Structure 1
């Protein structure tokens, strides 16, 4: 195979900080090359330089042996490089075809030729065997189909090199299988793929070669045959990962009881439809499901952020239905929210102030009407050390932290409350493998102490690794329940897609 891309000694500095330190990689025609690394390892910066979004401090890029320099993404596109971003850039009210051809629309007599656009997109669908409905409004497409629209968009622009940034982050397991099949098909048709991901099992399934980054440097450059998931993880983290702490057998009584809860807005279909569940002391209950199937509304109802139309919520025997957030937290609930910026922090607050949220009433941190800052600062500094939170100081704005570091601060804060029950929504979103390992350990330890965790995660591997029982939500209802011993990825995937437990066994 001929070499299509070479990046040589790529360095990017922001002041004295070195984001990328003399990184080199090459990409052949028809190859899938995975770039893996922890949060902040330098993956995104490297790809931003390749796509013309950042100018390198030093280093060279060669396309088909010719040296190139990009000042913006248009330069990259002209050199047949396309990028599918983690957060899709589609117009929801446009059709798939309109989104794909935008910027390069076929015209007739000076006007947009919608029929020709549909024909061109249908040709792409057939050529690359990527299932998309050209005339479907994007807002009505599944997340998986929206991603395929993005891929067809870069193919329509003529891309031979396609960068995929965390492409499976929002997909169901079934959709992930379809994505990996698409990636392989594109490579077999001569396209060159750069896959940015932290999901090492997917890397081992689809990649031909792998570059591992840690702290802005290359720690490994291997083929799939030369490595394993464990070896890649070690190269990413710099140490061996540990097995999770064993579970202590628990048979606790219910700490959280939800009975026949319905949430409905005006005359629309219920967001939650007669939901009942319980979480016992000494138990982690995982909720799986494609985003948008009622998980968010369920957590908002439990934590007091949304009202219940009918049904009841009891926490430690107390009726907390439609109570205030403060009352519910005082009753023994802590909450790692799914959106760290919207619910978990105030961007203009300092690191110290973000950590203080919920602790300002605790007697050990108060003296009459004044806060006792010294003991609290000691606590926050212990979190920073334990979770390896990268912050310039306690006075740094929370909004200046990377997403992963802010997530670690919120997780540390909520675990520190040591409440009888914790809602953990996407607890490891955006964090690196080392921090993920620590968070998982902390959740198991909480469970083993006789406390309870309600876990919601889009990472099915996380749900299966941590949960004692798994509930699957689909269109605002509990589609099925299974215990740890009987749960399989296939069975959960079927329920997530709207099937039933009987189907999953066939």
Structure 2
């Protein structure tokens, strides 16, 4: 099915989100829409899907004009959409979610068996491996996304819109999704793909349209370099490689000793974790999503009072403190789920920038908020962090994901920091914003602050890390230098010790020269912590890094 937009414009009051957009999506192709956060991509997709009516312009399907009054009209016309934030009922089964709005009945009763049959047929065709009777909230994020795709295909979608589909996926889940997209393309489906991740864009796209500030600024060939695509997207040359000097370590340190956490069901979530991060270095935590990284950062921030062991900033014990006390102790925290844990969507941008900081003397006095100071703080953050907003009093939920992330980062970096922890710091963020956030993280490290980042993006891990800690099933498999080969790191992410990974992966002489393991007493000998050459990380003699 051919989809075409001619001179489509969408305005909200005086604000023009989409300005005379022309777009053609041919049958059996993947057409990528590339642009910065806030460029108008999601708004345009919501116009196509019938959630918004265009202010001007026309949508055509197979060269015939169509007018959608709502998503049901778009679905009847053969358009399906997988939203960035899934539209699923968590406590319903897969079959119940897919049946919603397209219920089949038999004798006046809901016929879920017919829905189950369709789910199995689509799952078998595309290798989805989705259980129709599974409860959605119990499924991994990648499987929930497949449920959304099945939901569209059950309704006979010929055009499938994928809005930032890989923003919440692990690298393995991303590869699986790209494989599914190839199969859908082979079956003649038309795919509209929105992504910030240039490797994926180059790998899967047949056509690329670039939008900047609501306007189409050009079309690109998928063979274009990542630098060319990035420059076209943000309107300037972008530095894709993080520029950072060798670490200069300070006496400040964050130390974790014998940290254990058990779930209410008795399942070990963190197992005897030991490590130290010195001021002036970045420790990147790598691992497949769901292997204890979330529990570790939540424990640091005071969300798991049942954890045992010790966590200290210098001599200050954090374990046992609540979240507010941890933040007051100088910990800046960027959570992995900004919309749930980092923001209050209904609060304004200005309010979100001072969420737990409202009682600072510059923002309040005698229980009364200083609205002028709060507004000035918002103006400063919006300018310094290039937060794309219409008005600082707009609700945070109205912003794109990348601009929401900038709000969280801006707020957390205004603290008097003793430790900075960022989980998935650039998830769902465009390349221009990634460059900006990475520079901010490195700047904190260069101030002598201990920095911990958690990322499922290995490119980000290697770009930022001075050392890399690998987690598997809640256990620290080892800490290795930032020049450790990716295949070795991959083996460790699957549960191998450093030594086992080195033995199972053929290494070049260069690998062996640049990765020199040293055993310390901070973890077991078979899961030893490995540090780089002492000239790179100059630990004080006798210290455990």
TM-score by length of 2: 0.82
Residues 261 and 308 in structure 1, CA contact (< 8 A), matched pair in contact too: no
Partner of 1:285: 283
Aligned runs of 1:459-478 on 2, under 5 Å? 459-478=457-476
State whether structure 2 residue 183 is matched by structure 1 residue 185.
Answer: yes
CA contact (8 A) 2:299 2:307 kept: no
Cα deviation per residue 1:411-442 (whole Å; 9 max; x = unaligned)?
12322335232112233345443232111112
User: 195, 213, 216: which is aligned to 1:215?
Assistant: 213
1:142 pairs with 2:140: yes
- In structure 2, do the counterparts of structure 1 residues 77 and 493 end up closer, same or farther at CA, with 3 Å as the change threshold? farther
Alignment gaps of 5+ in structure 2: 506-545
- 1:239 pairs with 2:270: no
Question: 1:229 — aligned with what?
Answer: 226
Match of residue 85, structure 1, among 56, 79, 83: 83
Moved more, 201-210 or 243-252: 243-252
- Count of paired positions: 502
Q: Distance in 2 between matches of 1:218 and 1:450?
A: 43
**For the Cα contact (< 8 Å) 1:260–1:274, is it kept in 2?**
yes
SS in 1 for 2:304: coil
SS at match of 1:271: strand
Shifted more, 245-254 versus 172-181: the winner is: 245-254
CA change 1:206–1:313 in 2 (3 A) is: same
Q: Is 1:410 equivalent to 2:408 in the alignment?
A: yes
Secondary structure of 1:471 counterpart:
strand
Q: Which residue pairs with 2:481 in the alignment?
A: 483
State which drifts further: 65-74 or 391-400. Answer: 391-400
**Corresponding position of 1:156:** 154
Give the 3 Å change call, closer, same or farther, for CA 158–494 of structure 1 in structure 2: farther
3-state SS of paired residue (1:321) = coil
What is the Cα deviation at residue 379 of structure 1? 5.7
Q: Give the equivalent residue in structure 2 for 1:168.
A: 166
1:224 alignment partner, SS class:
coil
Say which SS state the counterpart of residue 174 (structure 1) adopts. helix
8 Å Cα contact 1:470/1:487 also seen in 2: no
User: 1:117 Cα deviation (Å)?
Assistant: 3.8
Unmatched 5+ residue regions in structure 1?
Answer: none
Partner of 2:259: 261
Deviates more, 1:276-285 or 1:107-116: 107-116
Per the alignment, residue 385 of structure 1 pairs with: 383
- 3-state SS of paired residue (2:413): helix
Greater mean alpha carbon deviation, residues 213-222 or residues 314-323: 314-323
Cα deviation code 1:267-303 (max 9, x no counterpart): 4313333222221111111123444443333223222
1:119 maps to 2:127: no
Contact 1:408 1:431 survives alignment (8 Å): no
Q: Is the 8 A contact 2:130 2:147 kept in 1?
A: yes
Equivalent residue for 2:305?
A: 307
Relative to 1, partners in 2 of residues 1:26 and 1:352: Cα closer, same or farther, differing over 3 Å?
closer
Q: Which moved more, 1:237-246 or 1:296-305?
A: 296-305
Conserved? CA contact 1:304–1:323, under 8 Å: yes
Q: Distance in 2 between matches of 1:442 and 1:129?
A: 41
Once residues 351 and 363 of structure 1 are traced to their aligned partners in structure 2, the CA distance between those partners, rounded to angstroms, is 20
**2:522 aligned partner:** none
TM-score, normalised to structure 1, is 0.88
Is the contact made by 1:101 and 1:156 (CA closer than 8 Å) also made in structure 2?
no
* Structure 1 counterpart SS, 2:2: strand
CA contact (8 A) 2:350 2:378 kept: yes
How far did 1:164 drift? Answer: 0.9
Per the TM alignment, residue 375 of structure 1 is displaced from its structure 2 partner at its CA by 7.9
- What is aligned with 1:18? 16
SS in 2 for 1:287: strand
SS in 2 for 1:240: coil
Note closer, same or farther for the CA distance 1:277–1:23 as it changes in structure 2 (3 Å cut).
same
